[in-house]
Structure 1
Amino acid sequence: MEMNQYLEVFIEESKEHLQTCNVQLLELEKNPEDLSIVNEIFRSAHTLKGMAATMGYEDLANLTHQMENVLDAIRNSKIKVSSLILDVVFMAVDDLEAMVFSIAEGGDGKREVSEIVQKLAMIEKGESLGSLKAMDEAAAAVMEAETAVTYHPEYDQFEQTVIQQSKEQGFQCYEISVTLREDCLLKAARVFMVFEVLEKCGEVIKSIPAVNVLEEENFDQSFLVSIVTIESQEDIKNKILKVSEVHNVSVRLVELEKGKEQPSINHDINVPSRQEMPERQPNKMEETSALHNAKKDERKEPAPSKQAAAGNKTIRVNIERLDILMNLFEELVIDRGRLEQISNDLNHPELNETVERMSRISGDLQNIILNMRMVPVETVFNRFPRMIRQLARDLNKKIELEIVGAETELDRTVIDEIGDPLVHLLRNAIDHGIETPEIRRQNGKPEEGTVTLKAYHSGNHVFIEISDDGGGISREKVLKKAVSQGVVTEETASSLPDRQVYELILASGFSTAETISDISGRGVGLDVVKATIESLGGSITIDSELGEGSTFSIQLPLTLSIISVMLVEVEKEKYAIPLSSIIETAIIKKEDILNAHNQKVIDFRGKVVPLLFLEDVFEVAKREEDEFHSVVIVRKGDRMAGLVVDSFIGQQEVVLKSLGNYLTDVFAISGATILGDGQVALIVDCNVLIK
């Protein structure tokens, strides 16, 4: 039986079952007496075991079987749930995830798991937990000894050829061993920065451990990179040492022995390119749910049946194909608008009827295309509870994670990129925001700190907020460090508002060891976070209150290029305001406008709403004031504003086009669109105006 046709389904379903195990194990820790949770984990493990055995992945099946035995003993009341037992089960799930990712990347799914299998067997037999602790201490001693061992990479025939040809052209190949500091919390971020430095020096040809292992921080403190470059050893070493939290760098020249072919090696080596570090999978596939009974008899060829046909109703589509489809549809929307304009001008009954029908059909088609690309942010959020549990245990803190708005949908391309910045911000909040239980008691706070992860839509943007009820950020300490490092001058520092002061910690080079101790650790890895978010067309802001906590707010574009807008006119200029930002439109009298704190406001349904005249915002030539004003009431979160325009044109669906590289910083404009009559209308960014 040919198994390759089922490989994609096996990988996706395995990831789903392992995610279920992670989520339910966290629930079990909170409710150790609830056997229904154990049964849920057991079912996922049992299904995974059957699928792995059917596909021929014996190591994966054997480890799952041993984990299944422990779960069976728990549900039969032979052993009681404890944190130490769950730690071992979590370690088993980590190994299973590593095997599945290995298979997804073309590997054989094999992994050395004898130690974890031995621990699970001890738990199943009811042996003392002290034995497990002794094993952990022994393993830690071995690991500590292994960290001192230097990697000795071996090169395959292709890599040897690359090195040899590069040398003939005047380049050299160096093996660069990098060791991070023991207290480095954001290892993946530092690895990313090291690779960024190296890729400016030359071409990276090998990495040990593999790039995906480095991204997931599944390594100790050291890693090795082989690079072909024209720069000197000393220059490369000095450049890497400038990366914060790098403890040591050693550079060795690679000399290949002529005529001697090196043996193949067992390391899972991945050759990173410039694009590979940010994205583990260059060809991202659109995830769709798929049902497949993996426990089929290997000896029998599956016969086609109605039942089998009914189950095969999903396919996986490469995201690049969806991009092409979206681009074609954007052009169709522009032509549709033009056709509607011509139809209105000619006023031909049959033409009008045909255009209306085409508009309805293309509207339905548009919704389908957009929904195909949308993914709930819970696909990213789901991995955080497990991470926070482990960090809280490592730091001896009590932390509760609250997730709000996990059903909020984002475009798939943004979902793929936002995971790492959120990991860094959450770790920052846990390690440096939330205080220890002792300090929280002294400050009159509950011992358990709270970190809130919230997502919501506002206009044509999605906002993700990470809030903590920890110690907050000290304005004085941030300014002191910023002045000492030359980030700002003393004269400028005194006049900066609080929000701008807090955002200084996002500056490149601000996250140093001294900063960690002086400024409650704020800034660790945040330069990398800011760069990633801005590369997505987003922005990050920080609010904090000393002693009360901090909120990091990320604003991201939906990246949906077709949006519904209200077209308005200011003088002879046309502007488009996204419908998703609009509460309602109104006509107000001139005498209804009031003044409060040097700001023109109106009373809107019992609330004071500030007015913004778009003719002033965009510096349009003013005309004589009318007795009445047309106002568009917009909102961002719980804040509102009234945009004063000359007149309303009407609702329309438009294609959002970028203003290009030369107009990246135009205030309050998120893009432009081509209207049906060929005119260009600028799209107003209401979120910026409300700020």
Structure 2
Amino acid sequence: MTMSEIIGNLEKFSTECSKEGTDRLLCNKLLETAEKELHDGFHDFTSYISEGLDLLRYYIETGNPVKGAKAEQIQSWISDEITEDKSKENADAEAKEQTPKTEQQAAAGENVRENPAEIDGDQLKLFVSDCEERFSRAQELILGLEQNPEDTDAVKELFRIFHTVKGECGFLKLTTLGTLAHNSESLLDLLRSGKIPVTKEIVDMLLKGLDFAQELGKDLKDGDFEAYRSVPVGEYIAGLSQFTAVRGEGSSPVQAAAAVRTDTAPASAPADTAAREQKIEEHAVKKTDTEDAVIKVKTGKVNYLVDMIGELLICLGQMKEDTEGLPQVRKIAKTLQYAGMQLRTESVHTLFGTARRIIRDTSEKVGKQVQAVFEGEDLEIDRTLIESLEEPLMHLIRNALDHGIENTEERVQTGKSPEGTVRIAAERRGNNIVISVGDDGRGLDRERILKKAVAKGLIREKDIPDMSDTAVNNLIFVSGFSTNDSVDLISGRGVGMDVVKEAVAKAKGHITTESRPGKGTTFSLHFPLSTAIIDGMLIRTGENIFIIPISSIIESFKVKEEQIYQVAAGVHVLDLRGKMIPIIRIAEVFNMTNAGEGKIATIVENVSGEQFAVMSDEILAKREVVIKNLGACFRNLKGISSGTVLSGGAIGFVLDIEQVIELGKESRLQEGGAA
């Protein structure tokens, strides 16, 4: 196939392709490349572009989108290889293609006014989704480059990321983001060609550009073009001139980058076609062997699939046990449920990438030397949990850097290393996911916390001697509480730890705190492994069935009369092997009038490590249950977190143990006060 035939086919394909973002973008890239190849005479790439045409032909004939490793490989190859092999004439032509008006506006701090009406909404959604992943990867690469400035592979990958974003912005007519990506690409081209070294200043500049790109991407995602247009891209581009204007004074960033490519890129003869095809094949094999093809699925569709499998399990639970083949069908349904739930998981590596950036930026602001240690980055958790963890993780890290870790002088005086350590870990403990943030700093100051708490009226001085370390530590989660006497950009307003507690509770989790004076503090966030299915103990009180999560249970048993003692009016405790445990009766917590005597005790433990005996009439079974949202009307029902449909159609209520304990304490106080 000749290059002229390729261009003819691509122009035909451009009109026939449906509005599937990936396919149209691929077709556009191939067309642009083919036209340049025909113009410049570089016909050694013809076979590879022909392969891309075969993929597009397959799409048109079958209707199946062109995605996966092969399509990504073609786009990556075009972005990388074609750019590296351009001659002086090509570099000049590329510089000419940049609209002078765009550059003048950007340099003056004015963004180009894109017309939202000209942008296809479906393609924009796909583009923004891809950009989120690309920018996350770019941040990881830039931070890695700061640690290893000689990593040329990282520079090349960064160049490809911004080059791809620039190309797709051109297709979608997103000039502001495209201009930003192009100028970042120009800076990376200087690094790639070895004209300038990687320095901290350049890393800072790349991160600043990435921040602007992420801000633009968020505005596009929200459809907020007013905010999009207000991002000061021009200021950033003007600041790049100190690095990119290396060929004469007054050169624009684009012109300077083009000049560098012109002067340094050697004119290369057309490569041997067989050798080129061999290189392509090796690249394809390597990529295919190491990466699975990725498809994008809307979260709502995955949730619907998991919900329907849950409904199937509920229906199977209502069938008679002697139904032929039922055990095998249940096994298959549970396997399907597990597979569906895996679709909602994502590695915490993404979350840790955000943490790395926060640690880097905050440590510079507070002027402290800090190293970050990460453990368990390969652990996969529900992606909605990852999203909900970003804000609390940010607060915990900033708290560790500002309050926890001492300054260099103080650390040296106490015999510590001048460099502090922040350790972030993710692990699975039983049926829970635990994300911990720890530091090797000064630890929580008990006396200072108590002094502030008394001053704010949170506690009374006479209560202090009876307060455990856990109770004191939990005071920092009270809204408006702060031990900082001054207010700055990092902390001091009393907003932060209460936000952490609220966000964790919203995700069905809880927080534990461990602190040692002079040794440091660790905050551990505990979450259920799954929010769709749990292991629970079914108990009955009166005619109602409740489920206690197994993760909260210590033990269960039938209570003897002589084990129960009354210590005050309406207040009873259980003698368990010499240890007095407060009793909480389900019937009293929920004001039930049809309950029995409640002779069955289930010992549970709250986040503070305190144990309570939850009394019920009967233990029914230990079972894996599919949990359901209670809906808007019962969303704020205290003590109940969710519901489930049991065999026979009965409704069970999943207890929120933390809230049940709080309700039990309130009930005991009221009864004691009434007496």
Give the TM-score of the pair, scaled to structure 2. Answer: 0.58
Contact 2:299/2:344 (8 A) holds in 1: no
What are the Cα deviations for residues 267-326 of structure 1, in whole angstroms up to 9, with x where unaligned?
xxxxxxxxxxxxxxxxxxxxxxxxxxxxxxxxxxxxxxxxxxxx997343253x555555
Are positions 1:86 and 2:203 aligned together? yes
Structure 2 residue 324 is matched with structure 1 residue 352: yes
Match of 1:336 in 2: 316
Number of residue pairs the alignment of both structures matches: 471
Answer whether contact 1:459 1:579 (CA < 8 A) is retained.
no
Q: Is the 8 A contact 1:483 1:493 kept in 2?
A: no
Partner Cα distance (2:600, 2:339) in 1: 46
Q: Which amino acid aligns with 1:338?
A: Q
Distance across 1 between alignment mates of 2:447 and 2:204? 41
Aligned to 1:13: 130
What is the root-mean-square deviation in Å for CA atoms of aligned residues? 4.9
2:153 corresponds to which letter in structure 1? S
Deviation at 1:475, TM superposition (A): 0.6
| 2:596 is the alignment partner of 1:479 | no
Give the Cα separation in 1 of the matches to 2:236 and 2:599.
78
Kindly state the Cα deviation for residue 387 of structure 1 after the two structures are TM-superposed: 2.1
Equivalent residues in 2 for 1:118-129, closer than 5 Å: 118-126=238-246
Match of 1:168 in 2: none
What is the letter of the counterpart of residue 118 of structure 1?
A: A
- 2:512 is equivalent to residue 562 of structure 1: no
Partner of 2:147: 30
Structure 1 Cα separation of the partners of residues 309 and 538 of structure 2:
21
Q: Output the amino acid matched with 2:451.
A: K
Match of 2:624 in 1: 653
Kept in 1, the 8 Å contact 2:369–2:420? The answer is: yes
2:641 is equivalent to residue 664 of structure 1: no
Structure with greater strand share of residues: 1
Aligned counterparts of 2:168 and 2:148: Cα–Cα separation in 1: 29
**Given the alignment of the two structures, is residue 45 of structure 1 paired with residue 45 of structure 2, yes or no?**
no
Change (3 A) 1:612 1:565: farther
Task: Judge conservation of contact 1:459–1:581 (CA < 8 Å) in 2.
Answer: no
Does the 8 Å contact 1:400/1:449 carry over to 2?
Answer: yes
Give yes or no for the alignment of 1:530 onto 2:501.
yes
Indicate conservation of the 8 Å contact 1:473/1:522, yes or no. no
- Distance change in 2, residues 1:80/1:478 (3 Å): same
The equivalent residue for 1:287 is none
Q: TM-score, normalised by structure 1?
A: 0.57
Determine what percentage of the aligned residue pairs are the same residue: 32
Question: 2:444 matched to 1:502?
Answer: no
The alpha carbon displacement at 1:479 in A equals 0.7
In structure 2, the residue matched to 1:419 is: 390
Show structure 2 runs of 5+ residues with no match.
1-13, 22-119, 249-291, 558-574, 589-595, 661-675
Q: Aligned runs of 1:40-439 on 2, under 5 Å?
A: 40-107=157-224, 110=229, 111-126=231-246, 314-317=295-298, 319=300, 322-323=302-303, 325-339=305-319, 343-344=320-321, 347=322, 351-353=323-325, 355-439=326-410
- State how far apart, in whole Å, the 2-side matches of 1:555 and 1:316 are: 28
Q: Aligned with 1:383: secondary structure? A: helix
Give runs of aligned pairs for residues 581-660 of structure 1, distance below 5 A: 652-656=623-627
SS of corresponding position for 2:485 = helix
Q: Which letter does structure 1 place at the counterpart of 2:161?
A: S
Structure with the higher helix share, 1 or 2: 2
Q: CA contact under 8 A between 2:433 and 2:528: conserved in structure 1? A: yes
1:452 alignment partner AA: R
2:482 is equivalent to residue 511 of structure 1: yes
Residues 409, 511 of structure 1: alpha-carbon distance in 2 compared, 3 angstrom cutoff:
same
Is the 8 Å Cα contact of residues 600 and 618 (structure 2) preserved in structure 1? Answer: no
The whole-number CA distance in structure 2 between the counterparts of 1:579 and 1:489 is: 36
Q: Encode CA deviations 1:222-249: one digit per residue, 9 max, x unaligned.
A: xxxxxxxxxxxxxxxxxxxxxxxxxxxx
Q: Deviations over 1:648-678 (max 9, x none)?
A: 9877432235796786348xxx766443255
For 2:172 and 2:337, how far apart are their aligned partners in 1?
Answer: 39
1:383 Cα deviation (Å)? 1.5
- Per-residue CA distance 1:509-541 (angstroms, 9 max, x = gap): 323763779xx9695522232233333333323
Does the C-alpha gap of structure 1 residues 400 and 563 become closer, same or farther in structure 2, counting only changes over 3 Å?
A: same
Report the counterpart of residue 419 of structure 2 in structure 1.
448
- Look up the equivalent residue of 2:199 and give its one-letter code: S
Structure 1 residue 501, shift from structure 2 partner? 0.6
Q: Which runs of 5+ in 1 are unaligned?
A: 129-310, 588-597, 602-609, 626-630
In 1: Cα distance, 2:635 partner to 2:129 partner:
38
Counterpart secondary structure, 1:439: helix
Equivalence for 1:262? none
DSSP-derived class of the 2:476 partner: helix
Cα gap change, 1:369 to 1:451, in 2 (>3 Å): same
C-alpha displacement of 1:106? 2.6
User: In structure 2, what residue type is equivalent to 1:43?
Assistant: R
Q: CA deviation at 1:102?
A: 2.5
SS at match of 1:653: strand
